[in-house]
Amino acid sequence: MSRRGRALHAALALLCAAAVLSTAAQPDASYFTTVDVFVVSDTPVAAWQVELTERRGAMQIVGIERGDDSTFRDPPFYDRATLERGATERIVLASFSLSDAAQLQRGKVRVARVHVRMTGTPNPDYEARLVAAGTADGRPIDAQLSLETQTER
């Protein structure tokens, strides 16, 4: 191989090494955040179901905890197998309470907190849908859904 060929190979090797090192040195563009899920109703809420999605598919749910209302003592129900596989760009949460109507909360009630790892996007685009909300005797109620996020960078 000629001297020019060796110099070309050496320059190409240095260029490839620099590209690999540059890629490896990039920080992971992920961060953790929480999504608080609120059901808002003038009627006491005994049961609810919510679907939460991140439109860009950059969400990985890493944990779910109950809300503030003591009548919902346990975390909401959800598909644990989906969560364990890490395939959580969409999740359905639901819960119910067997408490008397007089003990149930009304107004803006935090029913769940979802812990999320976001990747690749600084501004999540959440979509949430209140699938159902009901009273202690099983009647559907008029309710709205509200989300609040907090970044834990």
Residue pLDDT, tens place only, 48-106: 999 999 988 888 899 999 988 788 888 999 988 878 877 678 899 999 999 988 999 99
Could you tell me which residues come within 8 angstroms of residue 111 by beta carbon, excluding any fewer than 6 positions away? 37, 38, 39, 45, 48, 50, 66, 67, 69, 72, 76, 95
Q: What is the pTM of this model?
A: 0.77
The CATH architecture one would assign to domain 30-151 is Sandwich (2.60)
Mean pLDDT of 104-113: 94
pLDDT in tens, 5-51: 565 555 555 555 555 454 444 445 788 999 999 999 999 999 999 99
At 91 the three-state DSSP class reads strand
